[in-house]
Structure 1
Amino acid sequence: MHTKIKSILIIGALLSLTTSCFQDESVSAPVKTNPVSDDPIDIYIQTNFIDKYGVAVRYRYVDRYVDQNKRVTPPKRELVEPMLDFLTDFWVDPFINVPNGRKFFEDYVPAEVIFIGSTIYNADGTVTLGTADAGARITLSEVNDIDITNKNWIFRQLGTIYHEFAHIMHQRNNLPPSWQEISPQGYTSLGSWYNLTDEEALQRGFVSPYGTSTFNEDFAEVVAFILYKPDFYERYINDEVGCTTSDCDLRNEGRAKLRRKYNAILSHYQQYVGVDLLEVRAIIQAKL
């Protein structure tokens, strides 16, 4: 499956951060090895990613990694290693340092991670921040904007990588039981989700408008939000007290559905891979 996440829909002068994914069943699993190289960056990747986890990181531009209808800029060479360190700090380490996490990460990590320097510009006026292909490849954009002091950039990257990693989980183990029954009337479609506001999505029982597009995207969005959103419980789980408006009541109704999704996800990870996502979240939050 080819999944595209974190798109920005540009409507006139307005630019709003969203998510978008699509399928491409033709993607085959790439080879997990790189040719021998004496390039310092290649040696760094070989030592820290290929040898340890069997994942190759591609930073040189190759057109087969990007749809021909999209426009991109390759990553700057001097920013590749800082981006690799960012992934180690916020993606690799949080998972491998919890019980059963190392095995989970090694078993589920995709064979390739692709770096793109810019956002990926689409023909329809949107931009793509990341993609996942059949559980075998994750593409990350905006590498040239790396700034570990910029929380907005950090959250966009974390939202992308955790969302795409969550897709691999449900591709291997399906969705939690009865997932489709929690908020069945709240879903939209891949072609209309961006008409919702964050508030409307919450009232329907979703963490984001894009989560309303499909069952799978709903799952991946909730997993990502659990891991990286500092205000996850305040915003999406804990009810507001003393509601005096219908909007407040509707938000709390949405939170009741999200609590069911939250519990279903935690149980799903524990059952299938033995990983406590709340322990992973604690490590991530301590780094932010």
Structure 2
Amino acid sequence: MNNMNAKYIKIDKIRMLIALFLGVLVFSYSSCNKEAALPQDPIDNLGGFKPDGNPEIDAWIKSNLTKPFNIAVKYQYDPFEIDYMKVTTPPKEEFVIPTMRLVLSCMANPYLKNSDSTFVKKIIPKLWVLVGSAQYNNDGTMVLGQAEGANKITIMDVNKYAPNEQFAINTNYTVHHETAHILHQTKLYSQQFKFVNPEYYTATWHNYTDKEAFDLGFVRNYAMASSDEDFVETIAFLLVKGQQAYNDIINVSSPQGKERLRIKEQLVVEYFKEKWSIDFRQLQSDVKAGISNYINENK
């Protein structure tokens, strides 16, 4: 075979391959353009979200939260109310009322006793979102609750509900932490608090143990995240875990830690008195009584 014939054969093979490729492309395009019939029936409970609530739960919320405090509770699962990139689960309906009763007994009622309904309506968030599980972060930490713009609080890990001291303290710690955020977002705390030990605020707070945090003058490692977190952590610890627990961490901390923790405690007491006309020590006592009463009533 001479070179000319070989050249023509090679060209013909290339043309055949091109024709074959175009044929496959046309077939693929035609296949993709076939119209499939769309389902006519709606998909119920897509993603776990139920727009219609439970009538019994809704009636309780309306009577105990919406009418007296203008509060809405969203317990139907909606991933867009939280970080939808994280895996979370819906709350179990049987835990919705007990969880919100806990909020009333241990947060709303103690504040009500020490102020008035106008104050509580002002500082209590208007939207409460309940999530069944905690939200886990890539750094190994987890989120148990969050406050947004003084209007919304999210309580997570609701499906671990149990009428015992551990759940009552853990949940109320979250609730009082987030409520304290709303307080300081409404009325600023003293700048002096920010300068007790500012050099230790860090985004890598989770690399410290709680004992190391005590020695530096914090109630736990998360308080090292920022001055705002430090302030609300101090409030939540004193209110929920109580004065004796606070004294206990002071007793095991370094001399510098002891001094800083006492300064922060005093600044918290002064903040409640000066900004909100609330006796913090009485509020502390009422929160403790609320937790104890709730546990005893639900045994």
> TM above 0.5, one fold?
yes
1:272 maps to which of 270, 275, 282: 275
Q: For the aligned residues, what is the CA RMSD?
A: 2.0
Q: 1:57 aligns with which of 73, 77, 90?
A: 73
Counterpart position of 1:117? 132
Counterpart code for 1:152:
Q
Distance 1:52 1:78 in 2: 23
1:226 aligns with 2:229: no
Instruction: Determine which structure has the larger helix proportion and give its number.
Output: 2
User: Match of 1:157, as an amino acid?
Assistant: T
Q: Partner of 2:258: helix, strand, or coil?
A: helix
Three-state SS of the structure 2 residue aligned to 1:178 is helix
Aligned twin of 1:4: none
**CA shift for structure 1 position 273:** 1.2
2:84 is aligned with 1:68: yes
Partner residue of 1:83?
99
Can you list the C-alpha shifts for 1:92-117, whole angstroms capped at 9, x where unaligned? 1111112x253322111111111111
Q: Distance in 1 between matches of 2:246 and 2:148?
A: 31
Q: Hey, what does 2:155 align to over in structure 1?
A: 140
1:184, distance to aligned residue in structure 2 (A): 2.2
- The residue number in structure 1 matching 2:194 is 180
Paired with 1:181 and 1:101, the residues of 2 have a C-alpha distance of 33
What is the alpha-carbon distance in structure 2 between the residues aligned to residue 111 and residue 285 of structure 1? 24
> Of the two, which has the highest radius of gyration?
2
Per-residue deviation at 1:129? 0.8
- Give the share of equivalent positions with the same residue, in percent: 30
What letter is aligned with 2:285? A
Q: What is the CA-CA distance between 1:154 and the residue it aligns to?
A: 2.1
Check 1:126–1:196 CA distance in 2 against 1; reply closer, same or farther (3 A cut). closer
Q: How does 1:14-33 map to 2 (within 5 A)?
A: none
What SS class does the counterpart of residue 260 from structure 2 fall into?
helix
Deviation of 1:186 (Å): 2.5
What is the letter of the counterpart of residue 208 of structure 1? R
Q: Distance in 2 between matches of 1:255 and 1:101?
A: 35
2:142 is aligned to: 127
How far apart, in 1, do the equivalents of 2:116 and 2:190 lie?
A: 20
What is residue 181 of structure 2 aligned with on the other side? 167
Q: 1:234 to 1:38 in 2, by over 3 A?
A: closer
Q: Name the counterpart of 1:235.
A: 248
- What do the CA deviations read for 1:247-270 (whole angstroms, capped 9, x no partner)? x6x623212111111111111111
Work out the CA distance in 1 between the residues paired with 2:237 and 2:133: 24
Q: Output the CA distance in 1 between the equivalents of 2:56 and 2:235.
A: 35
Name the count of aligned residue pairs: 240
Aligned to 2:55: 39
1:131-153 Cα shifts (integer Å, max 9, x gaps) = 1111111000111111122x332
Contact 2:198-2:227 within 8 A present in 1 as well: no
Match 1:197 to one of 190, 196, 209? 209
* 1:156 Cα deviation from its structure 2 partner: 1.5
Higher relative contact order (CA 8 A, sep 6+): 1
Answer whether contact 1:72 1:118 (CA < 8 A) is retained.
Answer: yes
The 3 A distance-change label for structure 1 pair 36 and 140 is closer
State the distance in 1 between where 2:193 and 2:137 align: 31
Could you say which structure has the higher strand fraction?
A: 1
Cα deviation, residue 124, structure 1: 4.5
- Give the secondary structure class of the aligned counterpart of 1:131: strand
Distance 2:139 2:215 in 1: 29
| Shift of residue 236, structure 1, vs aligned partner | 3.9
- Residue 195 of structure 1 and its aligned partner are, at CA, apart by 1.0
Does structure 2 retain, via aligned residues, the 8 Å contact 1:211–1:218? yes
3-state SS of the aligned residue for 1:74?
coil
Equivalent residue, structure 2, for 1:216? 228
- Partner-residue secondary structure (3-state), 1:60: coil
Match of 2:261 among 258, 269, 274: 258
Letter in 2 for 1:253: Q
C-alpha separation between the residues in 2 aligned to 1:272 and 1:175?
Answer: 8
